[in-house]
Amino acid sequence: MQNNSSILALFILIFSVQVCIPVVAQKKSNMKDQTPNEVRAKKILSKLSLEDKCGEMTQLAIDVTLNGEPYNPVEPQSFDMEKLREVLIDLRVGSILNVAAHAYTRERWYEVMDTIQTIATKEKKNSIPVLYGIDAIHGANYTVGATLMPQQIGLAATWNPELARLSGEVSAYETRASAIPWTFSPVLDMGRDQRWPRLWETFGEDVHLASEMGVAMIDGFQGDDIGDKYHVAACMKHFLGYSIPWSGKDRSPAYIPERQLREYFVPTFQKATDAGAATLMICSGEVNGIPVHANPALLKDLLRTEMGFKGLAVSDWDDLIYLVNRHRVATDMKDAIRIAVNAGMDMAMVPMDTQFPILLKELVQEGKVPMERIDEAVTRILIAKIELGLFEQPFYPMSDYPDFASEKHTQISYEAAAESVVLLKNKNNSLPINTSQKVLVTGPTANSMQCLNGGWSGTWQGNNTDYDNKDKKTILQAIQDKLGAENVIYTQGTSFDKTQNLQAVTKAAEGVETIIVCIGEMSYTETPGNIDDLNLPDAQIELVKTAAATGKKVIVIMAAGRPRIVRELEPNADAFLMSLLPGNEGGRAIADIIVGEINPSGKMPYTYPRYANALMTYDHKGTDLPKYDFSMDNFDPQWEFGYGQSYTKFAYSNLKIINQTLSKDDSIEISVDVKNIGNRAGKEVVQLFITDKVASVTPSVKRLRAFEKINLKVGEIKTITFNLPISDLKFIGIDNQWIIEPGDFEVTISNLKSDFEVIN
């Protein structure tokens, strides 16, 4: 029987065959290479005991410090001071995370932080403050009354990086206003599997769009100084390959060839690393048979040596024990700790298990985890605490945050929500509607804030109405505000999967001109969001057909975190709006679009499939398209990536390429004129796609290489110019390295095309 070291070596060998990440020698550092924060961290490190260091590498959920049991605290919640002191003083735990069960008020957060940091800095021997982390992914969503922004997929639909930056800025401000300095956001996984229950937490399927939005959000979170009172440390997650599981189910295995891993999944993290993201969360899943937490080829060779990431790498929730009871690559928890720490994990999110620091100490004493690895990890943790200013001031007075949930922040949320909604169909200009008419509103998502906010909203699954912001409007309530309650009839018609009273819908339609049918999904995230069928439940399809059978105008609003198949119902809709979890202001934004006060400008951040078994991204290969008759034109989505209509019309002309023969070191200048030829002002996303006509590795049919969102008045013309380095056209070649090959390329902007050539 092989020993554990042999088993780990075998895993690494297997991975090196399947995903060959080359090992590059680490540069030895000296004092001259160290930043002042590194010098300070190592000075602190030199005074720490082994127990101190193991404690610093431990992250526990707040549950273990409260009265009651983990996952079941006594309400109203309060600290069990004996438990808290055991965690902070005896175990020297360096990080705490999360809420227990539900959102806290700001006042409660300040009580929590004051208690924790007072013990950590005044009673604990080493006086090191606690690094507290929270899933503030679309605002301070675990603080009662906070401004909730659109989820990431909604921000991606805006195609507006400035709104992503502002969203991060508001989230950072209100998270710090809750006394918390660290957010587990943004998600930089690529949303390339429409079944995945965390698709809505991504910036969509395209590498360039996701990279631009991710960097912008990190800039909003961190600003110029993550240590100031208005910014937080970002945490890019989940490194690496989490989002494209073979089964489409959360935390199930992924199989990703190295070429695809490098070309589609590494770049968002590389861009974020280059932008200075402070921390990183490790992927819960396994790639090519090796759990990422057990893979030094990813966590050391790729992430540290090749990509140059220097920050803190934290595990995800309970992922060490999962090496034992799910992945079965470790014999017990102690073995899992050895594997993960040696693989490159710096901090262990072992939420309810206080054994981690004890077992880690034993492993060091037994020589199974080298002290050098411990010191490396703890140094990174200390640097994060130093950069956040926790040694000087762990948190600031509540009075320093007058803009918490302010009208200023609400307006940013509203603008982001308004730009996130995508108009997918508008037959005969069915939208906007006349505000003097009577309407019927029906459907399971019509009167639900959960369907606007999604998961991580007050509670983990976002499905507890007790934590809705009571002054915010559902779609129904916002439409009632616009048209007058007396002009709006409401009957639910169906639940998400069962018909209730379709006859009532038919009856109610008799006195209205328009029926607004709100369909979609209830809030969810992670494993509870797994589904076996991407088709929309039959009950909702029948509801739309029932509405259409009345002969009245039918407006369909899909409120969902991922695309659900609507092929059968779409012909029954005169207009179709996609609501991509726009947040607390989503109802108001949708109502304003329906009545024409807002001109929709969202564009799809992923390809919306027409069939449940036809899941494909826009940047597919040419050979992805065979039909039964052997033709190669089988890309037929319901709506393509980048698609979205407006209430006005835009005309593109005068596509120019300044120099059509370029070398690999040049930049190409491409310009195009865009004119608003409609009858109202509107925003348009100018999208530049490039096709590599011939390559040594089969090229995609096209790739997004640049975009810009513009606002045009009626009759206005703007010339948009893109300066694109030829190096942006690189791809992963046969040897799994980035290359640029000479040859012919095609530019596509809207309906215009032109060619250029790259020479040696």
CATH number for the domain that contains residue 741: 2.60.40.10
CA distance 156 to 606: 9
- Please compute Rg for the chain using Cα positions: 26
CA distance 640 to 616: 10
Q: In what order do the strands lie in the sheet with 439-442?
A: 422-426, 575-579, 553-559, 514-520, 439-442, 488-490
CATH number for the domain that contains residue 103: 3.20.20.300
Residue 637 structure tokens: 């989505």
Same domain, 610 and 735: no
Answer for the pair 151, 583: CB distance below 8 angstroms, yes or no.
Answer: yes
- For residue 455, is it left (φ>0), alpha (ψ between -120 and 50) or beta? beta
CA distances from 42 to 206, 378, 636, 671 (A): 40, 9, 58, 52
Same domain, 334 and 431: no
Looking at the domain assignment, is residue 29 inside a domain?
A: no
CA distance 529 to 526: 6
For the stretch 558-592, pLDDT in tens is 999 999 999 999 999 999 999 999 999 999 999 99
Same domain, 350 and 261: yes
Instruction: For residue 632, name the pLDDT band (cuts at 50, 70, 90).
Output: confident
Same domain, 352 and 491: no
Same domain, 266 and 188: yes
| Cα angle: 180, vertex 186, 187; to 5 degrees | 135
Give this prediction's pTM: 0.95
Looking at the domain assignment, is residue 644 inside a domain?
A: no
Active site residue 316: yes
The catalytic residue among 193, 250, 316, 335 is 316
User: Which of the listed residues 395, 428, 460 is the one where a domain comes to its end?
Assistant: 395
DSSP character at residue 294 = G
pLDDT above 90 as % of the chain: 94
Answer for the pair 451, 200: CB distance below 8 angstroms, yes or no.
Answer: no
Backbone phi, psi, residue 56, to 5°: -60, -30
Residue 137 structure tokens: 């992914």
**pLDDT reading at 7 higher than 50:** no
Domain residue limits at 742:
650-759
Looking at the domain assignment, is residue 673 inside a domain?
A: yes
The set of residues, in sequence order, having a beta carbon less than 8 Å from that of 316 and lying 6+ positions away, is 237, 238, 281, 282, 283, 284, 349
The predicted model gives 511-525 an average pLDDT of 97
pLDDT at 219: 98
**pLDDT reading at 28 higher than 50:** no
* 738-739 and 575-579 strand pairing: unpaired
User: Which of the listed residues 374, 395, 416 is the one where a domain comes to its end?
Assistant: 395
For the stretch 97-156, pLDDT in tens is 999 999 999 999 999 999 999 999 999 999 999 999 999 999 999 999 999 999 999 999
**pLDDT reading at 714 higher than 90:** yes
Looking at the domain assignment, is residue 588 inside a domain?
A: yes
Same domain, 373 and 466: no
Same domain, 713 and 589: no
DSSP assignment of 95-145, as one string? EEE--SSS-B-HHHHHHHHHHHHHIIIIISTT-PPPEEEE--SSSSTTBTT
Residue 346 structure tokens: 């710096």
Answer for the pair 506, 458: CB distance below 8 angstroms, yes or no.
Answer: no
DSSP assignment of 146-195, as one string? --PPPPHHHHHHHT-HHHHHHHHHHHHHHHHTTT--EE---B------TT
CATH number for the domain that contains residue 474: 3.40.50.1700
Same domain, 259 and 373: yes
CA distance 492 to 444: 6
**pLDDT reading at 22 higher than 90:** no
Looking at the domain assignment, is residue 733 inside a domain?
A: yes
* 439-442 and 488-490 strand pairing: parallel
Looking at the domain assignment, is residue 243 inside a domain?
A: yes
CA nearest neighbour of 290 among 364, 344, 362: 344
Residue 741 structure tokens: 């090959």
Answer for the pair 128, 177: CB distance below 8 angstroms, yes or no.
Answer: no
**How many structural domains is the chain composed of?**
3
Interior/surface letters 652-674, b for 16+ CB within 10 angstroms, e for the rest: beebebeeeebebeeebebebeb
The set of residues, in sequence order, having a beta carbon less than 8 Å from that of 56 and lying 6+ positions away, is 48, 92, 94, 95, 128, 378, 381, 382
Expressed in angstroms, the distance from the first to the final Cα of the chain is 55
The predicted model gives 466-476 an average pLDDT of 96
Answer for the pair 169, 131: CB distance below 8 angstroms, yes or no.
Answer: no
Same domain, 423 and 444: yes
Answer for the pair 745, 700: CB distance below 8 angstroms, yes or no.
Answer: no
Other beta carbons less than 10 A from residue 392's beta carbon: 9
Same domain, 218 and 340: yes
**pLDDT reading at 10 higher than 60:** no
Looking at the domain assignment, is residue 688 inside a domain?
A: yes
Other beta carbons less than 10 A from residue 48's beta carbon: 20
Instruction: For residue 34, name the pLDDT band (cuts at 50, 70, 90).
Output: confident
Instruction: For residue 24, name the pLDDT band (cuts at 50, 70, 90).
Output: very low
Looking at the domain assignment, is residue 31 inside a domain?
A: no
Same domain, 420 and 556: yes
Same domain, 304 and 229: yes
CA nearest neighbour of 670 among 684, 695, 688: 688
| Cα angle: 108, vertex 97, 183; to 5 degrees | 95
pLDDT at 26: 36
**pLDDT reading at 8 higher than 70:** no
The predicted model gives 628-640 an average pLDDT of 87
- For residue 283, is it left (φ>0), alpha (ψ between -120 and 50) or beta? beta
User: Which of the listed residues 607, 624, 641 is the one where a domain comes to its end?
Assistant: 624
